[in-house]
Homo-oligomer: A and B are copies of this chain.
Amino acid sequence: MEIITVERRILEKNEDIAKENREILRGKNVRTLDLLSSPGSGKTAILEQTLDLLAGRIRMAVIEGDVQTDNDARRIAKHGVPVVQIITHGGCHLDARLVRSAMDSLALDDLDILFIENVGNLVCPAAFDLGEDEKVVILSVTEGDDKPLKYPLAFRAAKTCILNKTDLLPHVEFRSEVFRENVFRINPKATLFEMSAKTKEGFGAWTAWLSDTLLP
């Protein structure tokens, strides 16, 4: 029982800081998205394309969460936006306190959208509110059309879902229709985008959603 109590205390403390983060970010009129996925689903590649497509129109920054290495922050920095790397040294998810410390390094007054790339993990990050406006769950077609049912917490926590690597559909056994059914079974109100960060196919709908729906 003690363990459960402590876990609850960690989550409650996280909720408090997340609430403060949300107030700070909304006070500065910054929209914030928390990107969740397994390792290698293409979170960073999607961000790179998004940053390029919206450059000059929307002011963006990125908080990068990784277990180890600052490879992703270096990739993002090449696209000319502010980026803060959080290395968790084994930690399996970001939390609101870590995000707050990264927020403190960013000029929030100069931002429209803050992207938070969480640690590559489809399980733990789903349980932690960071103060974002919403979570976005990303799956690539190579991971299988059954994954919304197998990892329901992530697909329930995220209002928005991205299916990535659609360029590989001819080479894998992935039934897009079954995937969509599974997404909407877990989260009937989900917004679903299908795209390829490699070919840029499908990015029009996603960037239009960011610029027209997410932003006020």
Which of A's residues lie within 8 Å of B, judged by CB? Answer: 2-3, 6, 10, 38-40, 66-69, 71, 90, 92, 119-124, 127, 139-140, 142-144, 146-147, 149-153, 165, 167-168, 171-173, 198
Contacts and interface: CB of A to CB of B under 8 A. Distances in A.
Contact of A150 (B68, B127, B165): B68
Copy total for this chain = 2
Ordered nearest first, which 9 A-B pairs have the shortest CB separation?
A40-B143, A142-B142, A92-B123, A38-B38, A40-B144, A38-B39, A92-B124, A6-B6, A121-B123
A17 to B, nearest CB: 15
Nearest to A6: B6
26 contacts: A2-B6, A38-B39, A38-B40, A38-B120, A39-B122, A39-B143, A39-B147, A39-B150, A40-B142, A40-B143, A40-B147, A67-B123, A67-B151, A68-B149, A69-B149, A71-B150, A90-B123, A92-B92, A92-B121, A119-B123, A120-B122, A120-B123, A120-B151, A121-B121, A167-B171, A171-B171
A185 to B, nearest CB: 12
A32 to B, nearest CB: 23
A198 B168 CA distance: 15
